[in-house]
Amino acid sequence: MNKMILGRYIPGDSFIHRLDPRTKLLATFYYIAVIFLANNWQSYLLATVVTLAIIPVSKVSLRFFLNGLLPVLFLIVFTVLIQVFFTTGGHVYWHWGWLSVTSLGLTNAGFIFVRLVLIIFMSTLLTLTTPSLSLADAVESLLKPLAKIHFPVTEVALMLSIALRFVPTLLDQTTKTMNAQRARGVDFGSGGLFKQVKTIVPLFIPLFVTAFTMADELATAMEARGYRDGYGRTRFRVLRYGRGDLLAAVVLILLTLGLIFLRN
């Protein structure tokens, strides 16, 4: 659990680490969209080359990117198999009932495999090089226009950043509570379903109680330090675009043009 939520960010000072989080967030979404332009081996080759060229810039070991594939491995294999067996067209290599393996099926499967891996690499790049707090800042900044229609952007952003800040605290408390109950003879993660469900109570009630105390004390501390919602606050943390962000935009535009040029 810890690894999924937190262990993702790898601190560093690479060009990609230093990019504005808004740039990284928007670029990742843009990349996911633009990769659908690729539809032949030339365009996929270009996308692959560009992606593999970007990854080393982050100075994060390729191992972390490959690890990023693991949680979605099943999904990838499943999608690829569907393409292999259910796409028809071109030369037929094998046939059984409504299952068939055809040349078009294999090509499509290959393309989809590459596309999925590239998309996962790029989103992994985002999470490996951007702390979750910066992502929250980026979301806030990008949602700012919504304030005009009275959506409480700053309040939601503060809530989000506090939630993120307390994730490690709550995980720590979970470990402590599990240890305490284990010491009283609870076996977490063994026995039948009924037995499993029963172990939830001695874990979750103490956690809820702790979380409520925490929330209560935090609210008191915030109020004592002058926080009142809906009241004009200044901001300590601000985001600024830099020269690198421009460069990133240029790379994406070139990739788009290249894909349009190479596709059928």
Contact residues toward another protein (CB under 8 A) are 133, 161-162, 164-165, 168-169, 172-173, 176-177, 179-187, 190, 201-202, 205-206, 209-210, 213-214, 217-218, 220-228, 231-238
Q: Considering the complex, state which of residue 13 and residue 91 has its C-beta at the smaller distance from another protein.
A: 13
Q: Considering the complex, state which of residue 88 and residue 213 has its C-beta at the smaller distance from another protein.
A: 213
Least distance (Å) between residue 256 CB and another protein: 35
Least distance (Å) between residue 222 CB and another protein: 6
Q: Considering the complex, state which of residue 56 and residue 168 has its C-beta at the smaller distance from another protein.
A: 168
Q: What is the DSSP string of the chain?
A: -HHHHTTT-----SHHHHS-HHHHHHHHHHHHHHGGG--SHHHHHHHHHHHHHHGGGGT--HHHHHHHHGGGHHHHHHHHHHHHHH---S-EEEEETTEEEEHHHHHHHHHHHHHHHHHHHHHHHHHHHS-HHHHHHHHHHHHGGGGGGT--HHHHHHHHHHHHHHHHHHHHHHHHHHHHHHHTT--TT-S-HHHHHHHHHHHHHHHHHHHHHHHHHHHHHHHHTT--TTS----S------HHHHHHHHHHHHHHHHHHHH--
Q: Considering the complex, state which of residue 79 and residue 181 has its C-beta at the smaller distance from another protein.
A: 181
Q: Considering the complex, state which of residue 100 and residue 181 has its C-beta at the smaller distance from another protein.
A: 181
Q: Considering the complex, state which of residue 95 and residue 182 has its C-beta at the smaller distance from another protein.
A: 182
Alpha-carbon torsion 176, 178, 180, 183, what sign? negative
Least distance (Å) between residue 20 CB and another protein: 17
Torsion of CA 120, 125, 130, 132, to 10 degrees: 20
Least distance (Å) between residue 220 CB and another protein: 6
Least distance (Å) between residue 148 CB and another protein: 21
Least distance (Å) between residue 172 CB and another protein: 8
